[in-house]
Amino acid sequence: MSLYYVDINGIDSPSRDGAKGKEFASIAYALSRSSFGDTIHLNKGTYNVNSTLSIPSGVSIEGDGASSIIKFINTNKYNVALKLASEIEGTEGNQSISYLRLDGNKKGWAPVYQFARSNVKYHHLTVTNFVTQGLYIYGKTDGSAGIPNKYSTGNEIYNCIITDCATYNTGGYYGYGNIAFGGQDGLKIYNNIITATGKSSNLNGVGIKAVNGNGNNIGCKIFNNNIFTDMSTVGANSYNFAIETWNNQGLEIYGNNIFGTIDLGGYTCNKGNYKYSAYVHDNFIGSNSILNNDKIGIIIEGAIENSDIVIEKNKFKYLNRSIIFYQSEKAKYNNIKIYNNRFEDCGYKASGYNNTYAITWNSSHVGWTIKNLKVRNNIFISIQNSQLKTLAAMLIPSKLGCNVDSIYFTGNKIKGFSTAPIYGSSSGKVTNFYYENNTLFENGNNNNPVLPIMPEPMTNKNNIVKQFKVNKYTSKYLNEININ
């Protein structure tokens, strides 16, 4: 195993061995001298790269930190700075890319493409100024959709700063990722700072995204990241996805600060051999200040099935719709658990009534099914502004031609929603609705549910109404509803 040095004042010559004092001048030449197990070290300086550098398995590249800069100056579409591609799925990489700055010069397409390779670590990187896509990690040998025959394993992305490297395509319909991943088993993405705010309005890409809108990942973890999106976007296609995943099994998202939306989507998401398809917990999701527009915390959508999801112990803040179901025709949504979350300051700055539900749904389709939805032990607090009117903590999902069975809304604390604590649809019927042990504070309709069509059967018992004479901003009031 050899260590080769590259320096902006080096010389590419067979007479040199790449040791300190005898550095090579270019990364490409160092790669031509390298073999499995070798490391290439870039000394401080800027290395202009005009064509893709192919990195073989087992060869690592490191630098002196952000002062070791690979500047990709190629402006051709689909060209990438570093390519780690194998011809057999699951090929062992046993390598790392670390302590470098990858700079797209606001012209380069993407910094990294990785295909069909396992055990590659990307860490302590500063990645910035790429036009279309960031780090792209895929389990197949090419960019085609579908599940790989053999998943890539052991890949990690950590301690990186990734800024404005992804975009939406024309019209804002398809978003690329600052990190994009698919066909992965056990990928870990952690301790990164990802920012997607610097491009033109509605053209900032996704923080972390499933490759090709398919994903097909199992057992992956996204944790302890700070992800920033543009929360000011408005209008059609004004998506600000921090994380967009598709076709998951065993996905865990936790400990992140997310200023944007998590989209749990796909054709088929179920737990498979895991305890859950997605487990989203202990995150901050939302904004630090009141917004001027309608933003969402978590989207649950799926064309065929999206089941076995657990959402718990998250803090949602200043969102008009914290959790929303987007139901496709004939899709199944089973075994969804929403436990012990804090929904604070639900709503946004707008005149009159906001279309505010902390948990809601939206579908123009029929034939979908929701079964065994459990909303337990959460705290719901409407926005703390007497001039802004909000609707309810939850809009009960139901629609004519759809099947909704076994909804549990129990043990929750609900405060200050203008219309009612919960609201029902005027179309369709819920079978087996349990409304129990909730504590209600100063909600509309005298703290009673508004249910245009009564569920059958409905259990409504042990709900407690509390009113206070103390000022709502006092610590006594806040402690009473346990939001401190």
* Per-residue pLDDT reduced to its tens digit, 132-178: 999 999 999 988 888 999 999 999 999 999 999 999 875 556 789 99
Instruction: Kindly state the average pLDDT of the residues 289-299.
Output: 90
Cα angle: 450, vertex 454, 457; to 5 degrees = 130
Residues sharing a CB contact under 8 Å with residue 377, sequence separation 6 or more, in sequence order: 339, 340, 410, 411, 412
Which pLDDT score is estimated for 454?
Answer: 92
Instruction: Kindly state the average pLDDT of the residues 254-275.
Output: 94
332-339 and 309-312: which strand pairing?
Answer: parallel
Cα angle: 270, vertex 271, 276; to 5 degrees = 115
Instruction: Kindly state the average pLDDT of the residues 3-10.
Output: 97
Each residue's pLDDT tens digit, 77-121: 889 999 999 999 999 999 999 999 999 999 999 999 999 999 999
Tokens of 143: 């960019």
Q: Is 364 exposed, middle or buried (0-12, 13-18, 19+ CB in 10 A)?
A: exposed
Q: With respect to residue 16, please indicate whether it lies within any of the assigned structural domains.
A: no
Instruction: Kindly state the average pLDDT of the residues 227-245.
Output: 82
Q: With respect to residue 74, please indicate whether it lies within any of the assigned structural domains.
A: no
Q: With respect to residue 415, please indicate whether it lies within any of the assigned structural domains.
A: yes
- Total number of domains in the chain: 1
Q: With respect to residue 453, please indicate whether it lies within any of the assigned structural domains.
A: yes
Determine phi and psi for 93, rounding to 5 degrees.
-90, -45
> Would the pLDDT of 484 be above 50?
no
Tokens of 173: 């319909």
Q: With respect to residue 63, please indicate whether it lies within any of the assigned structural domains.
A: no
Please report, for the domain that includes residue 171, its CATH number: 2.160.20
Q: With respect to residue 413, please indicate whether it lies within any of the assigned structural domains.
A: yes
Q: With respect to residue 44, please indicate whether it lies within any of the assigned structural domains.
A: no
Each residue's pLDDT tens digit, 374-387: 999 999 999 877 66
* 348: confidence class by pLDDT, cuts 50, 70, 90: confident
Q: With respect to residue 8, please indicate whether it lies within any of the assigned structural domains.
A: no
Q: Is 9 exposed, middle or buried (0-12, 13-18, 19+ CB in 10 A)?
A: exposed
Tokens of 95: 């390598």
What single-letter amino acid sits at 452? P
The domain of 343 spans: 133-480
